[in-house]
Structure 1
Amino acid sequence: MSYTKPDRRALLAGTAALTLSSLVAPTIAAAQEDANLRLFWWGSTPRAERTYAVADQYMAENPNVTIEGETVGWADYWTRLATQVAGRNAPDVIQMDYRYIFEYARRGALADLSEYRDGALPLEGFEEASLQGGMVDDGLYGVSLGANSSATMIDADAFEAAGLEVPTGAMTYDAMADAVMQVVEATDYEYGMHDASGHEPQLENWLRQRGTPLYTDDGELGFTVEDATEWFEMWADLRERGVTVPPDQQALYQRSIETSAVTLGQAPVSFAHSNQLTGYRELNDSTITMIPLPLIEEGATGGHYRKPSQLFSVSSSAENPEAAAAFIDYFVTNPEAVEVLEVERGVPESTVAREELAPKLNEADQAQLEYIENLGDLAGPLPPPPPAGAGEVEALLIRVSEQVAFGQQTPAEGAEQLVSEAQSILSR
């Protein structure tokens, strides 16, 4: 569903208190000529409000630049973007995901931003490692908007109402299941947790704990039918015990905070990304806390990794790529911009921005910084970028998981279909 842009004047008034009057943002020399930029991103309503506010700040400081924004949910974003790129009507600044950046860059849809590093895109405070997520074949095709990792979102108030200590560290799947069923017995929740059998980040985390990649370095499927069968069987068991949201209600989930099991009041536990804690807190009355994803067994390690939450890329068809690059630099390094954005898109990559922002963050946002910094041996190395076709494989996982959940296939049958069709997609 598209988001209707709020009134800019009202939005600026609401965000004025967030900016520091003592900070004077530099004029962006690279954007002096007139430029009309289209900006496209996915995300929640709080993300839209922050993004529009920063765009307004930028235009106030650069009156020769006009920025028009458009945002939709994750479920519709990639179809809309693919249509616009195919129709030669791509946005100038594109919010990109690590999963798709190689595919879009290698087919010529994105501009190489390397040439602007000495001018419009200096990226002050970015370390070399912070750039790696946006690098494709030695070119820079995306700038990270923040670092994040997968996470478990918990209604802390519900755990306390059940007389349970609010978890502060990773729990095994079995321990989590036992805890949430106690919460169900003591509260108005009917179910214990989101059914993540079709959630690719969760499958990848589960596989990595077993020493198995989702995709190999060569872009092939990293897991087997046996792995997938065990995955579907685990969720079938949780479903049968009444731990998870049933499939007819789980089908309401559209990969957004607004449609998550916690926000819809279905269950006290959902699974998301660490940068989404801000959105969860803003959209829920309960106190939402965050811990790592469940463990396959006590002492398991390496499932998580630190990744770019999203990236900003520039279309190869942009009329003024230099102006687009200048806006991106402002977005990720300017103190006033970063203070409005906070950590809603993840922990800022710029060390300068992090140092400026950290003392001003609220408890939830401080929790994001600490979460990323304290994953320890729960986190392994950044995996290779997903190959072309990975988006189709994710859609396949969602579809097959729903068929298994509704009883249309057994876990073994679903696993056979998932692996067979995924391998076919990747071999094209």
Structure 2
Amino acid sequence: MTIRIDRRQFLVGSTTLMAAGAMGISPVLSQEARLRLLFWGGQARADRTYGVTDLYDKANPGQVVEGEFLGWGDYWPKLATQTAGGNAPDIIQMDYRYIVEYADRGAIAPLDDYVGDVLKLDDFDQDQLDGGKVNGKLYGISLGANSVAMMVNKAAFERAGVELPGKMTTYDDLKAMAEKFNAKGEMKLIGDGSGSEPMLENWLRQKGKALYTAEGKLAFDEADATEWFAMWADLRDAGVCVSAEDQALDTGPLETTMVTLGKAAMIPSNSNQLVAFQAINQDEITITNFPRIATDAPGGHYRKPSMFFSVAGKSNDKESSAKFISFFVNDKDAATVLGVERGIPCSASVRDALAPTLDDQSKIALNFVSNLGDLLAALPPSPPAAAGEIDSSLLRTISQEVGFGARSPEDAGPALVSGAAEILARAAS
């Protein structure tokens, strides 16, 4: 006699397992090869992910994938702790900004030896394959292509009598749009994007610059950073964006964003998050591009790997982990479960099979990424090690200090550049 322990019953504790042993029962848990999967996201992503792990378990008797998810803010500290303690999960959801750091430390393993064998990538988009490479080796398998996007409360725009922003909307246009929102008094036009690394990067790319060079150095200067903070200070003073007090309520989860809290009609986000935002918002949500700095500005968007699956450097079963990743990105039934919540599938055949099955919101996300037009430019190099610290600690802290009046933009610009340079130098030493 055996007992099948479902993932949602797994954490019943050692007492239950001991009791089973005392009864002469041999749990399947001791017989099955188990892979641990850790990912960030909300309940909607978890439900989709567990739907696919269930499919995989059924298709591969004797193998069980046990998943665990956390919010973005809690995910990275836990992964860092587990990695440092030699207890990292076998399969790790990885982000573009951290992949170099984890690869250089040996915390994730190169997957090249499995390609063409248990890991099938025959019709994968080349830009998505390239995005998962570090120093020429493949460390991450893209789970979907996406782009930065403004998450837009379509119903709020309709109530305010304001035309939805689009491909030609500029930062200067925001003030005129905000006047009607302020007159309505329901919410501000936009969240405070001064602490958003993706929004800063997009703005810099439109100016012909970037966040980082291919060598991992800063690619912008103090004047750029000062102009950035000054622009947002002006938008804040004009009532275009939310107050610093309101923005501070955004602690990372989608539930605390300015759109979900009803504080702003649009915020910077990513195209693949449209499905998740709609799931927790009663108003209809749509997406559009980031504002332009001018109507003739070059494109600042790019098709970014939304996230990767990587295999832990110390995993005891790298081959099985690679096999699961291959199933996750190639199986047609898995694609139907996943939709485009993690981005547009990178396999052309999977994409073609999925498209007819999508709901309206998912089709919006797919069409957005597929039709960026002149907004689309080349994928930048992978961020250097410690880029995540510059984003999550330095940029966000300085933006809050400016918002609360503790720093001027003229002070904040040099502080961002010098602080970022110091973090990069420390990481490289």
TM-score by structure 2 length?
0.90
Long gaps (5+) in structure 1:
9-32
* Pairs within 5 Å for 1:331-350: 331-350=328-347
Could you tell me how far 1:404 is from its partner in structure 2?
0.8
Matched residue, 1:304: 301
What is the deviation of 1:164? Answer: 2.6
2:150 corresponds to which residue?
A: 152
Q: Which residue identity does 1:135 align to in structure 2?
A: K
Task: State how 1:212-291 maps to structure 2 within 5 Å.
Answer: 212-291=209-288
Aligned to 2:173: 175
Deviations 1:271-321 (A, max 9, x none): 100111111111111111111001111121221111100000000111111
Tell me the equivalent position of 1:29.
none
Deviation sequence 1:15-67 (CA, Å, 0-9, x none): xxxxxxxxxxxxxxxxxx94211101111221111111111111122231122
**Equivalent residues of 2:35, 2:89 under 8 A apart:** yes
Seen in structure 2, the aligned counterparts of structure 1 residues 421 and 55 have a Cα distance that, compared at 3 Å, is: same
In the superposition, relative to structure 1, how do residues 112 and 34 fare at CA in structure 2: closer, same or farther (>3 Å)? farther
Verify: 1:353 aligned to 2:345, yes or no.
no
Deviation at 1:160, TM superposition (A): 1.3
For residue 120 of structure 1, the aligned residue among 94, 118, 121 is 118
Q: Deviations over 1:368-403 (max 9, x none)?
A: 111111111212111111111211211200011111
Whether the aligned pair in 1 keeps the contact of 2:128 and 2:304 (CA below 8 Å) is no
1:316 aligns with 2:313: yes
Which residue matches 1:16? none
The count of residues paired between Structure 1 and Structure 2 equals 399
Paired with 1:173 and 1:221, the residues of 2 have a C-alpha distance of: 24
Give per-residue Cα distances to partners, 1:78-108, cap 9 Å, x unaligned: 1111111100000100000111111111111
> AA paired with 2:323?
A
Q: 1:322 is paired with a residue of what secondary structure?
A: helix
Give the counterpart letter for 1:51 in structure 2.
T
Cα displacement string for residues 85-141 of structure 1 (whole angstroms, at most 9, x for unaligned residues): 100000100000111111111111111111111221012421333210111122111
Asked whether the equivalents of residues 175 and 238 of structure 2 are also in contact (C-alpha less than 8 Å), the reply is no
Q: SS state of the match for residue 415, structure 2?
A: helix
Q: Percent of aligned pairs with the same residue?
A: 48
| Matching residue's letter, 2:298 | T
TM-aligned CA deviation for residue 422 of structure 1: 0.7
Could you state the TM-score of these two structures normalised by the residue count of structure 1? 0.90
Please say if residues 7 and 67 of structure 2, whose CA atoms lie closer than 8 Å, have aligned partners that are also in contact. Answer: no
Indicate the RMSD between aligned Cα atoms, in angstroms.
1.6
How far apart are the structure 1 equivalents of 2:43 and 2:258? 17
The structure with more radius of gyration: 2
Kept after mapping to 2: 8 A contact 1:146/1:343: yes
Contact 1:198–1:401 (CA<8 Å) still a contact in 2?
A: yes
Task: Look up the match of 1:47.
Answer: 45
Number of the residue aligned with 1:385: 382
Whether 1:59 aligns to 2:20 is no
In 2, distance between residues paired with 1:258 and 1:61? 35
Distance 1:180 1:48 in 2: 36
- In the alignment, is the contact (CA less than 8 A) between 2:149 and 2:289 conserved in 1? yes
Letter of the 1:128 counterpart: Q
CA distance, structure 2, for counterparts of residue 241 and residue 402 of structure 1 = 17
For 1:180-227, what per-residue CA distance to the aligned partner results, in whole angstroms no more than 9, with x for missing partners? 3313423622x2211010000000000110011110121111111111
1:131-160: CA deviation from partner (whole Å, max 9, x where unpaired): 101111221111000001110111111111
Distance, in Å, in 1 between the alignment partners of 2:56 and 2:298 is 43
SS at match of 2:93: strand
User: Post-superposition shift, 1:7?
Assistant: 5.0
- Which residue in the other structure is 1:141 paired with? 139
Alignment of 1:406-425 (within 5 A): 406-425=404-423
Shift of 1:254: 2.4
SS of structure 1 residue aligned to 2:256: coil
Amino acid at match of 1:112: P
